[in-house]
Amino acid sequence: MDTTSTVEALVGLGILLTALYLQSESFVDPLVSGIALQSLLLAALLGWLAWVYDNWTFGAVAALVVGARVLLVPYILRRQIRAFRWRAREIHASHQVTGHALAAVALAIVGWFVFQQTLAPSLPAVPGIALPFVLLLEGLLMLATRRNTLVQVIGYLEEENAIVYAAALFAFGFPLFIEVVVFLDVLGVVLVAIILSIQRDVTGLPEAEILEELSG
């Protein structure tokens, strides 16, 4: 295994471990640190690829990842936690941590197996080629199972990390212009999500009777 493959495998392992950690954590502050760490690992991989392949596109995307997902969005999320202390913990996850962790591990194994058996043979032979797909599934799981709005935003960011990771591993040459605008778009979604999250606090969570209006 050459140096690049070793780096890809090690960073991939780190990203997988952060994904599993995020599923098992119920406090929001460590979750913000977790997603920032995952983004930092991703940026490190992109920086390495930029250096090895002398490709400034990877370097530019790495800088964007650091700026947006390691610094800016975690800063905004932490401000939210300070403003609304009660949001510092997942609403329902505290008694389900084990269940979430087990589901995350099972999903990772199934996702890995399915991708390796189906798509991997048609894609470049890169260590951890199935990991972006696994990360996408983990992000979806977090979105589906958590109730805390800030944690759901973190789940969405994890999905977006999966996209950047996939672009780095098996979509070499994906246009930088598109990646940059995607970044801005995602930032817009995160900001709108946070505005809505605040409004949810202002208007209060819907009473059961009102929620009934949204059923069916």
In the complex, which residues of this chain contact other proteins (CB under 8 A)?
118-119, 122-123, 132-133, 136, 139-140, 143, 149, 152, 156, 159-160, 162-163, 166-167, 170-171, 173-175, 178, 181-182, 185-186, 188-189, 192-193, 195-197, 199-200, 203-207, 210-211, 213-214, 216
Q: How far is the CB of 198 from other proteins (least distance, A)?
A: 10
Q: How far is the CB of 180 from other proteins (least distance, A)?
A: 10
Q: How far is the CB of 168 from other proteins (least distance, A)?
A: 10
| Cα–Cα distance measured from residue 157 to residue 186, given in angstroms and rounded to the nearest whole number | 8
Q: How far is the CB of 12 from other proteins (least distance, A)?
A: 17
How many CB atoms are located within 10 Å of the residue 88 CB? 17
Residue nearer to other proteins on the CB measure, 3 or 134 = 134
Bridge partners, residue 27, by sequence: 89
Q: How far is the CB of 203 from other proteins (least distance, A)?
A: 4
Residue nearer to other proteins on the CB measure, 99 or 175 = 175
Residue nearer to other proteins on the CB measure, 106 or 205 = 205
DSSP E strands in 127-172: the ranges are none
Q: What is the torsion angle, in degrees rounded to the nearest 10, for the CA atoms of residue 152, residue 157, residue 160 and residue 162?
A: -90
**Interaxial angle between packed helices 131-145 and 97-118, expressed in degrees from 0 to 180 and rounded to the nearest 10:** 150
Question: b/e map of 149-188 (b: 16 or more CB within 10 Å)?
Answer: bbbbbbbbbbbbbbbbbbbbbbeeebeeeebeebbeebbe
Residue nearer to other proteins on the CB measure, 56 or 185 = 185
Task: Give backbone dihedrals phi and psi of 89, rounded to 5 degrees, phi first.
Answer: -135, 145
Residue nearer to other proteins on the CB measure, 98 or 216 = 216
